[in-house]
A and B are shown apart, each in its own frame.
Chain A
Amino acid sequence: MATLLWLQGGACSGNTMSFLNAEEPSACDLVTDFGIEILWHPSLGMELGENAKRIFYDCASGVRPLDIFVFEGTVIQAPNGTGRYNMFADRPMQEWVRELAAQAGIVVAIGDCACWGGIPAMAPNPSQSTGLQFHKRELGGFLGPNWRSKAGLPVINIPGCPAHPDWVTQILVAVASGRAADIALDELQRPQTFFTSFTQTGCTRVQFFEYKQSTLEFGQGTRTGCLFYEFGCRGPMTRSPCNRILWNRQSSKTRAGMPCTGCTEPEFPFFDLAPGTVFKTQKISGAIPKEVPTGTDPISYMALAAAARVAAPKWAKEDMFVV
């Protein structure tokens, strides 16, 4: 039995909606099969008004044990650090966050906003938003670099815009079934089990990538080629299992012809969406991609690419996903 409280700050509810898409386990299964007691959730709770508020105060003061505190959305600090741009239950949300985080066994940040600040924290960041323990790639965020939960853990970051429901439910199941010690985190405090492989891992276009065959146009053209060379796909540089654990049990962005936007990385949205950067690969001299796959250097990558292009079989230039 583990108690869970879920709150939303500068959020869009996208992570909650994603969470509700979960199957095996579903949100209902978490309650009925895994004994997770959802003390309150903005969309799912029955407790109303004073009863709900009593839960927040009891958890914040330590009267009621809180095993898991889930936070979705940014911590809004505007104006001037007061947090008045995001009031919740009569107080700035940031005050609830500070007190609840201090009492929780573990704290889970769900989605880019809670992890890194996400889109609300993009320039010019009008709401003075930040993540729980990171601001973009910089350790610190709202709680500070040295903050630890009662269980001795830093904030567990489950990024993505939104986070995939399985990434969330499986971490919750791990905690509820006594495997919390197996949750190894990377340097961005993401569970390594999900965020070590790349978005590209399992992408159905990876053979086009290997032979350096580019998609030339969206739509019909995306049945051939790889989206990395022209359309800004960040699949080779992004840590996520989107092509291993499919979305809605069906597909992924890259499988459906949409370039990966790198939404599990702190820099999302990349280049602050400056003119000329959306769905376009940034290039040197109009030809060479500025960024090459993680772990390679531009010169050896260009050599490899040249050789691969020469070696490309005929089928690599054809429509593989035919009608």
Chain B
Amino acid sequence: MVNIIENPATLTGRDLRISPLGRVEGDLDLRVTIRDGVVTSAWTEASMFRGFEIILKGKDPQAGLIVTPRICGICGGSHLTKAAYALDTAWQTELPPNATLIRNIAQACETLQSIPRWFYALFAIDLTNKKYAHLPEYDEAVRRFAPFVGTSYEHGVTLSNKPVEIYAIFGGQWPHSSFMIPGGVMCAPTLADVTRAIAILEYWKDEWLEKKWLGCSVDRWLQNKSWADVMEWMHENERHYNSDCGFFLRFALAAGLDKYGAGWNNYIATGTYFHPERYARPTIEGRNAALIARSGVYVNGQFYDFDQANVREDVTHSFYEGSHALHPFEGRTEPIDPAVGHRQGKYSWAKAPRYLIPGVGSHPVEAGPLARQVIAGRPGAADWQDYDPLFLDAVTTVGPSVLVRVMARMHEAPKYYKLVRKWLDQINLHEKFYIKPKELPEGRGFGSTEAARGSLSDWIVLKDGKIENYQVVTPTAWNIGPRDGREVNGPMEQAFIGTPITDPSDPVELGHVARSYDSCLVCTVHAYDEKTGKALAQFRIGEGA
């Protein structure tokens, strides 16, 4: 194998680029080498830097509530959620059950919005690529998924607005509200707010989720507990077979999307949604036990408890000073000119997050819906926690792939619909939504949630009533981060390896892999022939939200 990787700049002879330390949004350069029609190496290069962690230093302790949602307008509500929990733990607040319910509802609604918007606007349009013109399903794919005019595209994109209408009822607007604050939420909904939210949720469930996507009831879909069940479901009747879900499964299998994009098969979920009574006094230590969608780490087929103390960010190949791997409480963000960084073998603005398992070692781990759903398969859930074996079965029987990753995401739509409906029914309109906290001048906080595209966490250090250090680790960083100090690939870099490329001048397969992760970056792919070093193609594969 030709190793040309030590300094990417020598190959391309130009600056490479990627995302900010916000690590979401911005541009992603992806460089791959191809040998005999198969990807053998990959480098993900984030090319934009804004410096939010630097901006937050010295600011008001609550500045993160306003600033971090603007790291990524796609996951803004998720940024707000974890920023609020970071302060809750630092200020040792008390949360009334209503506040936890509203936060859960808002957080889940952002994800419910993202699922169809991502699928139709960002993923499925590539299924209309001419590569698939020979498939019997092709004309139907164009009819459904063509941008702007596809029958399912317009429906899916427009109805994706509905879940965030619920967000707006409680939070005022989506994106970019800051209505979650330490001690609770700012709103105090009335009966009409709750009934309207329920009506919108039901409309979305009827019109998109059941009618368009599933072709069956939510409850019927949720009876699927294994990948074999999903295959059986698809053939069960014409409604399933011809739904967007059934059609996508058929198309993906015909197109071979179940054959590549596996990655490391190691996963992380920091978990999300809290039991309203069990996280009334948020602490870092008490977090795992209070979660509804559980946290956990899955490495080499073993489950481990998630502990924020084991997170490291490695900057060996990132455009920051040094080559350290630090815990975020000690994290540093000292940018250097990419032109200088390239000479040191650095190639991305993303840091490389790694999870350290004591006694086992440091690992790149994939974040996102597939990670969440694998962790959901871990035995031993408490009765308020989600236990769902479907995708642990999928990765252990058929293995991870583009198809399985996409399906894990779509599977969350019925699951979270059920949760949101339950939480809406639990709001007690006559009780508190906020308990005023004491604003402690010193402290450390950790807040985390699951954005649609994966684990999203803040570490905050307060000193003298202001922010001493603020570090954000995004799902995009977990996934698109570069190699670490031991030259181990990031998760998405690994997932590209083994991808077969039919037409090097239009390697749509790379687009499928990149988009299956939904990294928040506009990706540019530079493909090279490994034998000759010649450029094969350079093309944009669009944005994962």
| Chain A residues in the interface with B (C-beta under 8 A) | 8-18, 20-21, 23, 26-28, 31-32, 42-53, 74, 76, 78-80, 82, 84-90, 118-120, 122-127, 129, 161-162, 217-223, 242, 246-258, 261, 263, 269, 272-279, 321-323
Contacts and interface: CB of A to CB of B under 8 A. Distances in A.
Interface centre among A45, A50, A220 (most CB of B within 10 A): A220
B176 A258 contact: no
B525 interface: yes
A17 B73 contact: yes
Interface of B: 14-17, 20, 22, 24-27, 29, 47-52, 54-55, 59-63, 65-67, 70-74, 76, 96, 99, 117, 121-122, 125, 147-149, 153-154, 157-158, 160-161, 164-165, 167-179, 181, 183-188, 190-191, 196, 335, 337-339, 429-430, 432-436, 465-466, 506, 511, 520, 522, 524-525, 537-543, 545
B25 A256 contact: no
B157 A20 contact: yes
A28 B168 contact: no
Contacts, number: 296
A222 B73 CA distance: 27
Given A21-B161, A28-B157, A248-B174, A48 B542 contact: yes
Contacts of B338: 84-85, 87
Given A42-B542, A127-B51, A248-B167, A258 B67 contact: no
A278 B55 contact: no
Contacts of A31: 148
A9 B17 CA distance: 13
A3 to B, nearest CB: 15
B20 to A, nearest CB: 8
Contacts of A255: 172
A80 B335 CA distance: 13
A221 B181 CA distance: 14
B49 A219 contact: no
Given A13-B25, A278-B65, A120 B177 contact: no
A251 B48 contact: no
A247 B172 contact: yes
A218 B70 contact: no
Contact of A120 (B14, B50, B171): B50
A219 B48 contact: no
Interface centre among A51, A82, A86 (most CB of B within 10 A): A86
Contact of B60 (A17, A119, A257, A274): A274
Contact of A161 (B14, B52, B176, B543): B176
B186 A12 contact: no
Interface centre among A15, A44, A74 (most CB of B within 10 A): A44
A322 to B, nearest CB: 7
B50 A273 contact: no
B170 A279 contact: no
A8 B25 contact: yes
Contacts of B432: 219-220
A220 B539 contact: no
B55 A120 contact: yes
Contacts of A249: 165, 168
A43 B121 contact: yes
